[in-house]
Amino acid sequence: MLGTVGGESRMDSTVISDAVNLTSRMENLTKLYRTPLLISQHTFDLLPVPLEFSTRMIGQVKGKSEPVRVYEVMDGDESEVTIGKLESLATFNAAYSQYLDRDFEATESAFGGIVAANPGDRVSEMYLKRSQENARSGVTDDWTGVEFVDFKA
């Protein structure tokens, strides 16, 4: 939706929609995870040949009503980082499942091993830190692992 917002002395045009909101969240997640390229489930589903790209699901972000899966496109990394991510993909996927199952000790060990082998894997580094924090502090009963990203400019 395109609209004009403002007041008597100042007017501005803007675009308002769920897609714009999600795009803003995705942009901020690339900064948070320090990764070159993230895409949503919708974009992933539109890839003509998904296996032509090196991707991994790295989490979910809260959408308007449903969480939206977020994928990292690893092809944007330096080649040695991409190779390391591909070599650790099975471990990453298992660790992410354990993370969602709240087995933070196991995920701390798994993500720690990934980061030790590939220090350029910023997403694994983020999950290592989250695992350590969650193991130390615990999580609420309603914790789902879904990211609530609300960045203010």
Domain ranges of the chain: 14-76, 78-139
State the Cα angle at 87 between 100 and 94, rounded to 5°.
Answer: 20
Render pLDDT for 2-28 as a digit per residue (tens, 0 to 9). Answer: 566 677 777 776 555 556 667 777 888
- The C-alpha atoms of residue 41 and residue 13 are separated, in whole angstroms, by 29
Render pLDDT for 88-144 as a digit per residue (tens, 0 to 9). Answer: 999 999 999 999 999 999 999 999 999 999 999 999 999 999 999 999 999 999 998
Q: For residues 51 and 44, is the Cβ–Cβ distance under 8 A?
A: no
**Percent of the chain with pLDDT strictly greater than 90:** 51
Number of H helices, E strands in the chain: 6, 5
- Torsion angle of the four alpha carbons 108, 146, 142, 139, in this order, in degrees rounded to the nearest 10: 30
- 33 has a pLDDT exceeding 70: yes
Residue 151: pLDDT band by 50, 70, 90 thresholds? Answer: very low
| Number of residues written out for the chain | 153
What is the per-residue pLDDT for 63? 66
pTM listed for this prediction: 0.80
Selection from 35, 55, 41, 64 nearest residue 148 by Cα: 64
DSSP of 48-69: SSGGGS-EEEEEEEE-SSSEEE
